[in-house]
Structure formats: C-alpha cells, structure tokens
Amino acid sequence: MDKKTALHELKSSKQYLLRTASIFTEDDAGYAPAEGMYTVAGQLGHIAITVDWFIRGAESPEGFDMDFEAHDQAARAVTTLAEAHALIDKHYDAAEAWLAEADLAALLPEGMVMGGAPKAEVIFGLVDHAAHHRGALSVYARTMGKVAPMPYM
C-alpha cells in the first residue's frame, strides 16, 4: 500500500467513526447495553487507544504490547464523549504523523500479531478494528432507539 492510499484509509476510518458517533450525546456516554460491556465512551476510547497500539506495535522492536488487561482498563476509564473525542483526535493525528515518516515496506517484528508482515498492514488492522467497533456502536444506538447515520456520506 502506498502512503497516499494509507492516508486516505486512515482519514476515512476516522470520518466514518465520527459520523457513526455523532448520534450520541454526552448523556449517552455511560450507556452500555449489558453489564460488563464497554460504555459508549469506553467503545470510542478503546478504538482510539487501539489506533495508538497499532502504531506503537509497528515501531517497537519487541512488537505489540500484549497486556490487554491494561488496555481494557484504559478504555473503561474513558467516561465522557469529550474525553473520547480528544483521544480519537490525538491518536489518529499521531497515526497520520507516523505514516508520513514510516517505511511501510519494512517488516514488523516476528510475533503473535502480524509477525513479519509489512508495516503497511497496521493500517488495514486499525481500520478493520475501528469498523468492528463502529458496528457495535451502531447496535448500541439501535438499543437506545436511535439510528446512526450512514457513515459513508
């Protein structure tokens, strides 16, 4: 994947996420469809934190940080939409900056996650991950009697 395409994918992922999330108000931030599930704010925080996880994993000689309990706790600590949106901006912006400098053909470290694949694969991974959770947020909206807007407009 060339950098122009990767940047387009990254920016589109953020736009689609923000369109889906636009249905929620700050009053919805603490909503979760069932006990133990992420809240709306937690879902958004998790997406943002995982963007950062992919980029850090691409740059770390050790590969990806597999402490998923810490990642889960960090996402659950996001309790407001304002905080979640700030994290989305911060981590997508950092991913764009990384992309500008990254050698996308360089190989990721061997390991459990994308081991030996070109670094460009992290863009596919983070876009796919965001889409998965964007879909979950659409279901959250439906359980609240809301309809998320078409993300691709």
> Distance between CA 139 and CA 86 in Å, rounded?
23
The per-residue pLDDT for 153 is: 79
Task: Provide the residue count of the chain.
Answer: 153
Classify residue 126: in a domain, yes or no.
Answer: yes
Tell which residue, 126, 127, 137, has the closest CA to residue 55.
Answer: 126
Each residue's pLDDT expressed in tens, for the chain with a length of 153 residues:
899 999 999 999 999 999 999 999 999 999 999 999 999 999 999 999 999 999 999 999 888 999 999 999 999 999 999 999 999 999 999 999 999 999 999 999 888 899 899 999 999 999 999 999 999 999 999 999 999 999 997
- Whether 151 and 127 have beta carbons less than 8 Å apart is answered as no
Classify residue 37: in a domain, yes or no.
Answer: yes
pTM here? 0.95
Classify residue 26: in a domain, yes or no.
Answer: yes
Classify residue 151: in a domain, yes or no.
Answer: no
Q: CATH number for the domain including 32? A: 1.20.120.450
Classify residue 152: in a domain, yes or no.
Answer: no
- Overall number of domains in the chain: 1
Classify residue 111: in a domain, yes or no.
Answer: yes
Alpha carbon of residue 22 to chain centroid:
16
Give percent helix, percent strand, percent coil of the chain, each to the nearest 5. 60, 0, 35
Structural domain including 78 reads: 3-143
Classify residue 150: in a domain, yes or no.
Answer: no
